[in-house]
Structure 1
Amino acid sequence: MGQCDRNRSILCVFFTIIPTMLMADANQSTAATSAFCVNPAGDLGKCIYFLDCKPLPRALSTDLNFLKNSQCNQKEGPGFICCPDKRHVLPEPPHCGVRAALQLTGAQLTQPDDYPWTALIEYEKPDGTTGFHCGGTLINQGYILTAAHCVSSLRADWKVHRVLLGEWDLSSVLDCAYNVCNNPPIEAKVLKIIVHAGYDAQNGSFIHDIALIRFEELANFPDTIVPICLPIAESFPWENITDGFSTVVGWGKSQSTAGVTKKLKLNLKVRNFRECSSLLEWPEKMQPSQLCALWERSNRKICSADAGGGLAWFYRRFHYLIGVAGSDEQKCGSGDVPGVFVNVSSYMNWIRNNIK
């Protein structure tokens, strides 16, 4: 703090750093910058004009060094800080949920750029080999959302190794179509795994089967990797999700199935809670924090969903994550039995509270 004593720290900050920031154009647009960043405390935030960071965190208003080290986006001039306000951490349209293929019926092969939020979780095994056995969904530059059973109910001696982003064909180094190749996939190291405290693998119900994986570093994404949108807005039309189709995307990976090498998509019809309860073999275990979806054709030969992968609903040009896939038996359903998913809307507060 230099010459600023503890009792005058607030005045010191405002009479040293703030005037410099105010030299910046007060009309700077948050939307024009809004890059993700990590502040000195290790909290995930967005690089925005400091007056837009409301409420201004206490550390920013009392600690001169913290404020100095929180500055970002210097190319745009002074006045931008890494704001850890959780309202700024999750992307919103048009910065999420884009570049997905047209909805098709049945298990269909995707193109390399389709559904760019799809992630794979790689596991390290006792013999030194690795394998992909669960999926996840990218929700911002630092986290994927997945199922709790993918990270806490593992086979003996399995260990979550890393997360693969931007993959399409697991059998090739580069993913190419029409003589154009994407950048190689990004391999993100895992810093932290956060499992919902209410998850209990022993009861067999898969209630609260949801988890977050944080990367060691914020990923610097190419255009072929984009996070999905989350249903953040209070006005999100949940009552309409039974209209049309929702989509699961993946390689059919789980702890007991090998899946396929190229990413597939499959459209499912979301059912309301009453229909789900009547269709399930164990209706007493169905909870409001879950939703179900059914593939309505009997000739399905493969489930494209990964355990822990996402169920996405297309609404007004953007894809929103509405569900997280369950176990093998649950993720796509079979015959007239629907697949069961964690209802993301029931966990939005949990997601916000656990993203740092």
Structure 2
Amino acid sequence: MKFILLCVLGLIVSTKGDQCKTPNDEDGECVNIQTCKSLMNISGKPFKTDWDKFIMRAHGDACQHTENKEDVCCPISEIMKPQTTTMKPETTTMKIYIPTNQEGCTVDRCVSIYNCSVLLQIAMNPNITVEDRQYLRDRQCKNYADKYSVCCPEPELPPEHLECVAPKGAPGICMAPEDCIPISIIHRKERQTQEDIKFLLDSACPTQDELYCCPTVVSTETEAPTTTTTAAPIVETCETPNGANGTCISVIHCEPLMRILQKTDFFANDAQYLNASFCGDAANFPKVCCPETPAVEEFSLPQPPYCGTVSTAQAEFDSGSITYEEEYPWTAMLLYKNKRKEKSHIYCGGTLIHERFVLTAAHCLHEQEPEWNLTSVRLGVWATNAMEDCLNQASNDQLDCESKHIDMVVSKIIKHPEHESLYNDLALLQLNAAVRATRYITPICLPLETRQFSTSFDDDDNTAMQISGWGAHMFVKIAEAKMKSITYISNMDECKKLYSNGVAGDLTAEHVCVKGKGTDDGKVLDSGGALMAVVNVGRMQSYFLVGVEAISYEVPPEEGYPFIFTRVSPYLDWIKSEISGI
């Protein structure tokens, strides 16, 4: 399906040509797309997502300096020789049943590819060949009710549907072992008895070695007289990618995942979630771990993998390192306007936690300086100097100047009702419209459930956290690119001693005390910025918001003072209450 079809997006390929850099900063060469294996995989899809089109365009734009408009930038390691011969599809190796003769396609057979398991199985094959792609193209048909339609072949009677006689004379149907409950029970045994082995041998379908005659009724022998009962299905439990309880069933029977597959806008995190949900193979469609009850919050706060995206480019880094462009896509700049000037200034940061809300510190409202008004939020920013260049251009017709960043008007400011200096130092900024998730703009996760994320930390210096930003605060020039650094939870008792001079007041359990690796951390953290942790959630990793900066610039970190953050977890009820009110 879409998630398997998207598995090829990470590879970009080339042959001899001019040297170039791919969008992933790999060494590559500008070559004709026909010799670029992975881009050809995308090009040959029966239908392409917006993300596919972006990948194709980005690798083409990297070779704009060449004369050939068909050139794309591909990593050297992925160069392949041009195909000089073609072969007919070897459908016999794919274990599907397609008639060899092609007839005219009737209206009832021109259907969505998702309703044609035979062709969908070809499209889902991660090792799809050029011949297979051509076969899918040849099968496309017009159907005004469905944009991506195929002429679904009338399948021959597949062997797994043939009637048979099971051991002891029970009527049965030839099936794959994983689809037959009695056979699958024996297959899962660590040690099979002689009786088990004999039963498997006697159950083998005579025409197909890999299929078994599965009884439609099963005799159950007890101390009472023998009775005949219908075999009850065995529920195969599993854990969903975000750690919830689920059942391993065919994807077409899982409504939550089918809704994802049928989305008009299909993103990389959709593919990630679907891939991580895979729990087994079946005859026609893959099995997925389907959540027992759809985890839908009434206030629609995002859950992994639709929040806290961990960048594939992420690596080890030192204090004050520059981020990759797509890292920490929830970081926000707060824009202020002076009543006497038009130009906006950036004095604080914030964190996108919802499509309509940014969380920041209440002290960032600067209520003591009424000449500065918080007017808007800027999202999707990486290099501030490049952003200024784009804003100053007469036209935004270059790839680098496309709308990666957006400015959203703040329609409502919600300060915590009990904010006082260092205490309850939080504020929610409601945006005038919902933000559409992109590669560069995605919310961070909140620790809504304790099984997802522990909201308490050991009171020592070993718990690693991360900070990111531009060092935005009052009267200081921000960094030219988004920065990042590692920090560590500091002992609260020691922290209280350091702040015993009254600078911070009395620290409480609602605070987190953090020390950095070096003095450059003050150039990274925004006032009102985020303290983050990477957490394993099921089979994935996601970033969770731990705290919001409360004190960092009032007392310089180079003097040995740790940063003070407002811990987010005690305020979740307040956050959920405000968000649910929109």
1:256 lines up with 2:480 in the alignment: no
Matches of 1:260 and 1:28, distance apart in 2? 46
Matches of 1:275 and 1:30, distance apart in 2? 49
1:284 to 1:221, Cα distance in 2 relative to 1, 3 A = closer
1:110 to 1:296, Cα distance in 2 relative to 1, 3 A = closer
Which structure has more helix as a fraction of its residues? 2
Per-residue CA shift, 1:41-67, capped at 9, x if unaligned? Answer: xxxxxxxxxxxxxxxxxxxxxxxxxxx
Match of 1:102 among 315, 319, 341: 315
Q: Secondary structure at the match of 1:137?
A: strand
Which TM-score applies when normalising by structure 1?
A: 0.70
Match of 1:92 among 303, 319, 325: 303
CA contact (8 A) 1:195 1:212 kept: yes
1:340 to 1:116, Cα distance in 2 relative to 1, 3 A = same
More off after superposition, 158-167 vs 269-278? 269-278
Runs ≥4 in structure 1, deviation > 6 angstroms?
A: none
Matches of 2:370 and 2:258, distance apart in 1? 46
Matches of 2:309 and 2:334, distance apart in 1? 22
| 5+ long unaligned stretches in structure 1 | 1-24, 35-84
Match of 1:312 among 532, 535, 549: 532
Alignment of 1:188-267 (within 5 A): 188-200=408-420, 205-235=421-451, 236-240=453-457, 243-267=462-486
Q: Secondary structure at the match of 1:93?
A: coil
Q: Secondary structure at the match of 2:383?
A: coil
1:135 to 1:217, Cα distance in 2 relative to 1, 3 A = same
C-alpha deviation, 1:346, in angstroms: 1.4
Matches of 2:558 and 2:259, distance apart in 1? 46
Q: Secondary structure at the match of 2:562?
A: strand
Matches of 2:405 and 2:555, distance apart in 1? 25
1:166 lines up with 2:390 in the alignment: no
Matches of 1:234 and 1:87, distance apart in 2? 19
Per-residue CA shift, 1:311-350, capped at 9, x if unaligned? Answer: 1011112111001012453597333211000000111111
Matches of 1:263 and 1:185, distance apart in 2? 13
| 5+ long unaligned stretches in structure 2 | 1-251, 262-295, 392-397
Q: How many residues align?
A: 276
Alignment of 1:246-325 (within 5 A): 246-281=465-500, 282=502, 285-297=506-518, 299-300=519-520, 302-316=522-536, 317-325=541-549
Matches of 2:457 and 2:258, distance apart in 1? 29
Alignment of 1:104-123 (within 5 A): 104-123=317-336
Paired residue type of 2:511? Q
Q: CA RMSD in A?
A: 3.0
Higher RCO structure, 1 or 2 (CA under 8 Å, sep 6+): 1
1:276 to 1:87, Cα distance in 2 relative to 1, 3 A = farther
Matches of 1:122 and 1:223, distance apart in 2? 22
CA contact (8 A) 2:334 2:350 kept: yes
Q: Percent identity?
A: 26
CA contact (8 A) 2:356 2:430 kept: yes
C-alpha deviation, 1:31, in angstroms: 8.6
C-alpha deviation, 1:190, in angstroms: 1.1
Per-residue CA shift, 1:68-105, capped at 9, x if unaligned? Answer: xxxxxxxxxxxxxxxxx854421111111113433423
Aligned to 2:371: 157
Matches of 1:218 and 1:318, distance apart in 2? 22
Paired residue type of 1:276? C
Matches of 2:306 and 2:554, distance apart in 1? 31
1:287 to 1:192, Cα distance in 2 relative to 1, 3 A = same
CA contact (8 A) 1:305 1:331 kept: no
Alignment of 1:30-179 (within 5 A): 32-33=259-260, 87-100=298-311, 101-126=314-339, 127-153=341-367, 155-173=369-387
Paired residue type of 2:530? G
C-alpha deviation, 1:180, in angstroms: 7.5
Aligned to 1:10: none
Paired residue type of 1:217? A
Instruction: Return the index of the structure with the highest Cα Rg.
Output: 2
CA contact (8 A) 1:325 1:331 kept: no
1:332 to 1:95, Cα distance in 2 relative to 1, 3 A = farther
Paired residue type of 2:307? C
1:337 lines up with 2:561 in the alignment: yes
CA contact (8 A) 2:308 2:444 kept: yes
1:154 to 1:162, Cα distance in 2 relative to 1, 3 A = farther
Paired residue type of 2:352? L
Matches of 1:27 and 1:109, distance apart in 2? 42
